[in-house]
Amino acid sequence: MPILNVSCDECPVHRKSIFRGINECDMLDLSLKKTCYFYRKGQMIFYEGKGALGIYCVNQGKIKVFKLGPEGKEQIIRVVLPGEVMGLRSVVSGRPYSASATALDDSVCCFISKRKFFQLTIKYPEISQRIMILLSQLLDGAENKITSLAQKSVRERLAETLLSLDEAFKSEKCNDGSVICLSREDLANLVGTATETVIRLLSEFKHDELVEIRGRKIKVLNKKELLKIGKAYFA
């Protein structure tokens, strides 16, 4: 559902955006040309295979980007947070969206057309540089995920995923100090296993005082031990 456009110069996450640093005139034009949409929790934003008409900048909320397997099971590729973008690879390559996106909670996303996107990338070489860095990071993430799925146990992958989410959600802390706010099903789809397995392993992690659990909210307590279990490396 379209809403009143969020002004780019007043956007609280603009400093994280790939469009940061553009001049005042272009920022005003971007604010006028983009369209902002409000999505309810669980609402689809775009579908895999549909033509990519532009990119989405997340203003509020959290979005899951996922693919469906042959039997309809979700495999979550990543969770997108405020200040980050979706659909970038498809727009740059000129291909349909390679995955689907759904709001994990009530969210606001700003849609920027391909035409406006390419106008800005041509005018501002620094935007193109940021895009190359971002695409490289996404490729690194995909390669690491493939390696984890092929070579690590579910316990190791869960530990690694919790650490990754803890790092990503630092600025998205819940009111009670918990940082990871995902359903068990979504967490399982992110790890690549059954929901029941994630529930069992989380209970073990809680018993070992590695995490604190309150409902669906998870707080990492022992990062050092999770690093050992996940055989992961985080700054």
* 131-140, Cβ contacts within 8 angstroms, sequence gap of 24 or more: 131/18, 131/88, 131/92, 134/18, 134/85, 134/88, 135/88, 135/89, 135/92, 138/78, 138/89
Alpha carbon distance 194, 75 (integer Å)? 11
Measured CA to CA, the distance from residue 64 to residue 83 in angstroms comes to 14
Map residue 21 onto helix, strand or coil.
Answer: coil
CATH fold for domain 152-230: Arc Repressor Mutant, subunit A (1.10.10)
What is the tally of helices (H) and strands (E) in the chain? Answer: 8, 12
| pLDDT tens-digit map of 145-175 | 888 888 899 999 999 999 989 888 776 555 4
Give strand pairing partners of 44: 102
Burial of 235 (0-12, 13-18, 19+ CB in 10 A): exposed
215 — pLDDT class (breaks 50, 70, 90): confident
Hunting for tokens 């995923």 — which residue is that?
161
168 sits in which H/E element: helix 154-168
pTM of the model: 0.85
Give per-residue pLDDT as tens, 98-151: 999 999 999 999 999 999 999 999 999 999 999 999 999 989 988 888 888 888
Q: Where does the pLDDT of residue 216 fall: very low under 50, low under 70, confident under 90, or very high at 90 and above?
A: confident
* CATH fold for domain 2-148: Jelly Rolls (2.60.120)
- Phi first, then psi: give them for residue 100, nearest 5 degrees: -105, 160
Domain ranges of the chain: 2-148, 152-230
Q: Please say whether the beta carbons of 221 and 210 come within 8 A.
A: yes
Residue identified by tokens 């899951």 is 64
